[in-house]
Amino acid sequence: MTDIIQLLPDHVANQIAAGEVVQRPASVVKELLENAIDAGATKITLVVKDAGKTLVQVTDNGIGMSVTDARLCFERHATSKIKSADDLFNLHTKGFRGEALASIAAIAHVELKTRTEASEVGTKICIEGSEVTSQEAAVVPKGTTISVKNLFYNIPARRNFLKSNPVETRHIIDEFHRVALAHPQVAFSMLHNNDDVFNLPASNARQRIVNIFGSKTNEKLVPVSEETEIVKVEGFVIKPQYAKKSRGEQFFFVNDRFIKSPYLHHAVSNAFEGLLKDGLQPGYFLFLAVDPHSIDINIHPTKTEIKFDDEHAIYAMLRATIKHSLGQFSIAPVLDFNKDSGFDTPYDYSKKQPVAPTIEVDKNFNPFQKESLQRNNSAGYKREKGSSWESLYVGLKQEEGVVSGLENIEFESEEVSGRLFDTAVDVDGQITFQLHNKYIISPIKSGMMVIHQHLAHQRILYEELLKNITLQEAVSQQLLFPLTLHFSNPDLEILEKVKEQLEHTGFAFSEIGGEQLSINGIPVNLLESQVGDVLERLINDIKEEVPDAGFSQNDLLAKSMAKSMAVRTGTALNRSEQEHLVNQLFACKEPSIAPNNKPVLVTFDVTDFDKKFN
């Protein structure tokens, strides 16, 4: 029998490893930024073109590499971070396994320029598909510049799995945020298609958060700080009144490394118990420092999941720390047993003896005698003759057994009705009523129809908004005073892209930029108090789906706005409102299905009820 097992060539092994390390352009950004941090850089620049598909370039002013290190760094499992397996449990750096650059070089065109401070000239290396095409001396500044071009050029199947440019750009920005938040002492900048996206100077943790998410974020933050033998917790949580329905602003860092931990997230959510409305998510930026020996980082290829030795203790401490901070800054109710100095005896009276008060009592006082009291300057009161207590009832005449003054009193009474529900009957005899402020019930010839009022209103608004966007014939209600809302710059860029479609729905913008948005007009069906929630939901929906331009973008915008503007479950509707909603629903093209493909109405046949009584 011939042998069938063979060793894989190095370039094939590198491509397979790249499947774990490099999933998309954002993975390349993460690895290169972390390498720059490990190199001791104080200034890092990220340049991206075509969402990283054409170019990902990271430039740093770190220590640089020698000629030998520059060539060796692209070999498989070549690293300066570990020398034995025990070093895996005492890590203080980001990259340590040495497979990142080798995997990236296997599936892209890579150009490396580097120079150490002690060298007069640097090194330039070009690699295509794990093969070194050129290596030469070059005049380059101190530090390292790595350019990754044409990602997945030799694996077209992997390239076909990449999403659209907006989606991939969103993932790159997320990775940029995670590295930048973990290292506020390092200056970061990012350019996408030659446009400045971020320019973050070196600062502290709070200022870094504000620089990324907008100046209005500063007033939303509540500091969290606690140090124990097991873990040191620093960072911020967002006040409950600013909680969102999305999970965007949720960051855990362990030893300056971003991680994902549903277990620790549950601890934070538990600390916010009773402070958040249903469906809202807490926001937090928490930095945990633990002993490197007590965690295992090497359990996941992307190193975003780690294992703690004692998760239960960290859970309890994290929960208690956040609850303490929320109470300390008057966010949550708290019992404070500290002594209040306001109840202390003043210093001037501390050595004086208390004096018993003198009380004068008139033993002959009789309230039923014909007397009146008059204040006297000397002995308290002086009694003089006056009218008797019967004079209090003068003017109250009793006529025919009824006390005067009570003839016009009206008594509330509930009308006795023989109907089980509050009904609304129209001129044709059609009966509609609302059940639990959620469903509208109406009888039909074959039985009964139940309409979900929130989903029905969604369908109505969706078709109306989609029509207005397409035909550009929306009506806008002008505001007496412009409405100013604050968003981060990336969010404003999203709104800028859909500005034209929003104007076709009825919005009128006067200014977009500088982390704020000024609105002069809003759609007719929208309340001024709802504008912020509508735009915030729209931004989150676009971030999650990020459709291409065209009908899909208009469709997403109409769905998102309809969901925000639709009448809520629990809203009581009167007779005319119920009828108007039902009439509008059946004027729609698809009255039975909501924009999210959920059923809007359900019909019950009379035979269905008959079966229940058999």
pLDDT score recorded for residue 376: 47
Residue at 595 is within a domain = yes
Whether 114 contacts 65, CB under 8 Å? yes
Q: Are residues 579 and 440 in the same domain?
A: yes
Of the candidates 55, 80, 77, 76, the residue with the CA atom closest to the CA atom of residue 66: 80
Residue 334 lies in a domain: no
Q: Are residues 256 and 284 in the same domain?
A: yes
Pick the last residue of a domain from 328, 345, 379: 328
395: in domain:
no
Predicted confidence at residue 273, as pLDDT, reads 86
CA gap 17, 106 in Å, rounded? 9
pLDDT of residue 107 exceeding 60, the answer is yes
Q: Are residues 150 and 244 part of one domain?
A: no
pLDDT at 406 over 60: no
Q: Of 295, 328, 361, which residue constitutes the final position of a domain?
A: 328
Based on the fold, state whether residues 144 and 224 are members of the same structural domain. Answer: no
Model confidence at 408: pLDDT above 70: no
Q: Domain residues for 579?
A: 432-601
Is 403 inside a domain boundary?
A: no
Query: Helix (H, G, I), strand (E, B), or coil: what is residue 31?
Result: helix
Question: Is 135 found in the same domain as 233?
Answer: no
Pick 572 or 90 by higher pLDDT: 572
Kindly report the pTM of this predicted structure: 0.69
Identify the three-state secondary structure at position 262: helix
Q: What is the pLDDT of residue 375?
A: 47
Q: Is residue 345 part of a domain?
A: no
Alpha helices in 155-221 (DSSP H): 156-160, 165-182, 205-213
Residue 61 counted as domain residue: yes
Distances (CA, A) of 67 to 32, 38, 142, 479, 570: 19, 18, 13, 66, 70
449 or 246, which is more confident: 449
Residue 409, in any domain of the structure: no
Looking at residue 421, what is its pLDDT?
47
Among 276, 300, 328, residue at a domain's last position: 328
Give the CATH number for residue 253.
3.30.230.10
Q: Which of 157-161, 207-211, 400-404 has the lowest mean pLDDT?
A: 400-404
| pLDDT at 147 > cutoff 80 | yes
- At residue 504 the predicted structure's pLDDT band, cuts being 50, 70 and 90, is confident
Residues 281 and 172 in one domain: no
- 568 pLDDT higher than 80: yes
With pLDDT > 70 as the criterion, what percentage of the chain qualifies? 79
Q: How confident is the model at residue 544, as a pLDDT? A: 72
Q: Give the Cα separation of 242 and 221 in Å (integer).
A: 10
Domain-located, residue 352: no
CATH number for the domain including 472? Answer: 3.30.1370.100
Using alpha carbons, select from 289, 284, 288, 313 the residue that is nearest to residue 223.
Answer: 284
Domain match, 533 and 586 both? yes
Instruction: Specify whether the CB–CB gap between 447 and 603 falls below 8 A.
Output: yes
Q: Are residues 95 and 225 in the same domain?
A: no
Closest by CA to 298, choosing from 105, 104, 93, 101, is 93
In a shared domain, residues 173 and 237: no
Q: What is the 3-state secondary structure (H, E, C) of 113-163?
A: EEECCCCCCEEEEEEECCEEEEEEEECCCCEEEEEEECCCCCCHHHHHCCC
What digits encode the pLDDT tens for the residues 51-81?
Answer: 999 999 999 999 999 998 888 888 876 766 6
158 shares a domain with 31 = yes
Answer yes or no: do 527 and 596 share one domain: yes
Q: Kindly report the number of other CB atoms within 10 A of residue 270's CB atom.
A: 14
pLDDT tens digits, residue range 583-604? 889 889 888 898 888 899 998 8
Count how many domains the chain has.
Answer: 3
Taking residues 133-162, what's their average pLDDT? 90
Most confident of 87-101, 150-164, 326-340: 150-164
DSSP type of residue 64: -
The Cα angle at residue 396 between residues 393 and 397, in degrees rounded to 5: 135
Q: Going along 172-248, which residue ranges are E strands? A: 187-192, 195-200, 221-227, 232-238
| Residue 467 and residue 596 in one domain | yes
* Angstrom distance (rounded) from CA 159 to CA 154: 9
Looking at per-residue pLDDT, the higher value among 179 and 95 belongs to 179
